[in-house]
Amino acid sequence: MCGVLSAALIGTVVGVTTASGHSDGGAGGAAAAPDRATASANRPAPKGTTRTTPAPTPTWDGKTKVIGDGSTSYTGPQPHQLKPEKLKPGEKPPQFVVFSWDGALENDDHLFSRFRELAQQNNAHMTFFLSGLYLLPKAKRTLYHPPMHSAGSAAIDFPTDQHIRWTLQQLRLAWEDGDEIGTHFNGHFCAPDPGGGGNWTTADWLSEISQAKSFVRDWKTNTGFTDIPPLPFDYDQELVGGRAPCLEGQKNLLPAAKSLGWRYDASSPGDFQQWPAKKDGVWNFPLELVPYPDKDYQVLSMDFNFLYHQSGGDVTEGDPAKYAQWEKTTRDGYLNGFERAYNGSRAPLFIGNHFETWNGGIYMQAVADVVKDVCNRPGVRCVSFKELCDWLDAQDPAVLAKLRNLDPGESPDWSTFLKK
């Protein structure tokens, strides 16, 4: 197991037990110990945070345009993207499923490449939330000025040079496959750290976002690598959403996201399976409560939350004799949520994950099984969050409002339900 597991945040939602809080796959070695003595006022002012709308999409002449130091480039519109179509009267909505990954490091377990390839093989796109530090060498760690911590601090490991090289390769291939590259920000500071994201101001989030972008835009300068081509996308254009570490801080993050023209945020700590709505002008894509098999409660649709219920968050000492049953329970839990929506309201299903081998890697296998099952069913579209935004934005707002009134398992007569 790589990375450092944060303390679980336990909450209760209308009598439904949930747990959130998690770690990302680390690069190996000890995690950086955060220095909490430095005030956030000591960090440099964020750059590029005054823009209130996204920069216009450049006109493409069919030629690659290298950006900045050559770390990124514009190679035209992203290939293989969903073509959004407006629902017709009497038409049943597609069943959208979004698989997303927090951290997005290609480390020695090669889980990034495993699931990128799995998506490609199963007619699926995914969202990879890249932690900016995963493109920053440890020797350059002091380039990172986290809010409320000293320069170079982080609650996750900095990557090795080899991990950076592997991650760059996977980012390139993922984008070319049609997957989305979002952000998981940088230092992964969470409660009970008083300098965690839950206590950050909007200005803090703007600084964090600015730095996350810079680590992608300037990886060539920071690494010194000269033998790797630019990433095939302009990150200022590509980055339209993210998920905050441990699902903390959305209240102050949203104004930052809106000011930068982001289209969505996936940092909500959880909600029932419902058709999405905008929050402060930004699409809100929460983790969702899905029925826990053979229990009278629901659990958030993320690997860590199944782990928490199964082994108390102890990722190193779970009972191996229980792995097979825990894997089945996790798979069945996700499928419970899928079947309820697929045969009911058709609300999108959001499944969040980490590239981790917790409890023998059973959560990775459970997710892989779900991808192979659901993404090949009739009427199902496994898409990125960005593609889901495209589809939602193409719909009649009155139709979406009507869909939001459905209970998760409520299956109307679709032939008449959306007729005017």
Report whether pLDDT(6) > 90. no
Is 322 a domain residue?
yes
Is 238 a domain residue?
yes
Percent of the chain with pLDDT over 90: 82
CB of 103 closer than 8 Å to CB of 357: no
Local structure of residue 160 (DSSP, 8 states): P
Is 392 a domain residue?
yes
Is 305 a domain residue?
yes
CA atoms within 13 A on the CB side of 206: 18
Sign of CA dihedral 102, 152, 230, 209: positive
pLDDT (0 to 100) of residue 399: 96
Is 123 a domain residue?
yes
Mean pLDDT of the region 182-200: 97
For residue 155, which amino acid is it?
A
pLDDT (0 to 100) of residue 47: 37
Is 376 a domain residue?
yes
Contacts of 280 (CB under 8 A, 6+ apart): 254, 255, 258
Mean pLDDT of the region 285-289: 96
CATH number of the domain bearing residue 171: 3.20.20.370
Query: Confidence band (pLDDT; 50, 70, 90) for 278?
Result: very high
Query: Confidence band (pLDDT; 50, 70, 90) for 269?
Result: confident
CB of 281 closer than 8 Å to CB of 258: yes
The per-residue DSSP string of 383-416 comes to --HHHHHHHHHTS-HHHHHHHHTS-TT----HHH
Local structure of residue 279 (DSSP, 8 states): E
Find the domain containing 346 and state its range.
Answer: 96-409
Report whether pLDDT(295) > 90. yes
d(CA 298, CA 280): 27
Is 414 a domain residue?
no
Is 44 a domain residue?
no
pLDDT (0 to 100) of residue 24: 54
Report how many domains make up the chain. Answer: 1
